[in-house]
Structure 1
Amino acid sequence: MENIPTWRCVVAIALRASDGRWLMHKRPQEKHHGGLWEFPGGKVEPTETPVNALIREIAEELGIAVQAEHLTPCCFAQEDPQVGQRPIVILLYTCTRWDGDAAALEGGEVAWFAPEMIGELDKPPLDVELAAQLLAKMPD
């Protein structure tokens, strides 16, 4: 059998405010994809489930608390495998309930956007795909 590298699991959250706007995070300039808007989240550690990783990442990155029962799986996007690299697969969850006010604790910035504005934002390729899938599933 061909030696195929394993994949890297990343989780992200699409927070939806009561007014229908979605929270996006602008990556710090010095990071990979710096200056681009993304759904906040991060890597799943080997000892974590995706939901537990998302709860941890959102607390660290945004300073808010989300509960597992308020996270709903939405969609995923994956990189094309490159020779010698482990492709990233991002699992996106939606959430409409959390405790606290979101802030960019690890740099960059956060902002709330109406659905029609999300398509206008410069985003990394996988977030472009996630946004398209998310908005296609949402009621008008």
Structure 2
Amino acid sequence: MKKQIVGAALVDSLERPAKLLAARRTAPPEFAGMWEFPGGKVEPGETPQQALHRELAEELGVRAELGIELECPTSAGWPLNASAAMRVWLARVTEGTPEPLEDHDLLQWVELDGAGILALDWIPADLPIVHALVAFAAK
């Protein structure tokens, strides 16, 4: 069974997202300086949504309202590697100001118009999710 990872597409609006909060990784070395969706592993006894709330509090110091889950190409989620898949939810900050507390050194709001968001150096496994998010926002 694949390791379940959860991620948040932190957007300015759950109904009509125009901006995404991207997070720049500090580790591991092969991903340091690359951009990703904040999130992490689902721990035993947690639902994916509980894990995502915990990860957002730990990594960014925020509480968020979760919206829809981005449609995934597999039942396990978006393939990250041979042993892990990620499910991604739209989320909107409801409490706190996002800060790079853990695993990140920079946060940046980017337009979901395609050009701004695609100019960032995304972790390769996250890039298909970025494209899906851009397509969703364009609807």
Q: CA RMSD in A?
A: 1.9
Quote the Cα distance in structure 1 between the aligned partners of 2:46 and 2:38: 18
User: Helix, strand or coil: the match of 1:25?
Assistant: strand
Quote the Cα distance in structure 2 between the aligned partners of 1:37 and 1:95: 17
**Cα deviations by residue, 1:114-135 (Å, 9 ceiling, x for unpaired):** 1131111111122101101111
Instruction: Answer yes or no: is 1:79 the counterpart of 2:80.
Output: yes
Query: After TM superposition, which residue ranges in structure 1, 4 or more long, deviate above 3 angstroms?
Result: 29-32
Quote the Cα distance in structure 2 between the aligned partners of 1:7 and 1:37: 23
Q: TM-score, normalised by structure 2?
A: 0.83
Q: Structure 1 residues 20 and 125 mapped into 2: Cα distance closer, same or farther (>3 Å)?
A: same
* Aligned twin of 2:99: 103
The amino acid across from 1:112 in the alignment is W
Q: Which has the larger radius of gyration?
A: 1
1:94 to 80, 87, 90: 90
Instruction: Answer yes or no: is 1:126 the counterpart of 2:128.
Output: no
Instruction: Answer yes or no: is 1:114 the counterpart of 2:115.
Output: no
User: Sequence identity of aligned pairs in percent?
Assistant: 31
* Aligned twin of 2:38: 40
**Cα deviations by residue, 1:35-59 (Å, 9 ceiling, x for unpaired):** 1000100111121110000000000
**Cα deviations by residue, 1:29-87 (Å, 9 ceiling, x for unpaired):** 555511100010011112111000000000000000124xx332113410353xxxxx2
Give ranges in structure 2 of 5+ residues lacking alignment. 73-77
Quote the Cα distance in structure 2 between the aligned partners of 1:118 and 1:24: 9
Contact 2:80 2:126 in 1 (8 A): no
Contact 1:75 1:93 in 2 (8 A): no
Structure with greater strand percent: 2
Quote the Cα distance in structure 1 between the aligned partners of 2:84 and 2:97: 29
Q: Structure 1 residues 66 and 138 mapped into 2: Cα distance closer, same or farther (>3 Å)?
A: same
The amino acid across from 1:108 in the alignment is D
The amino acid across from 1:75 in the alignment is E
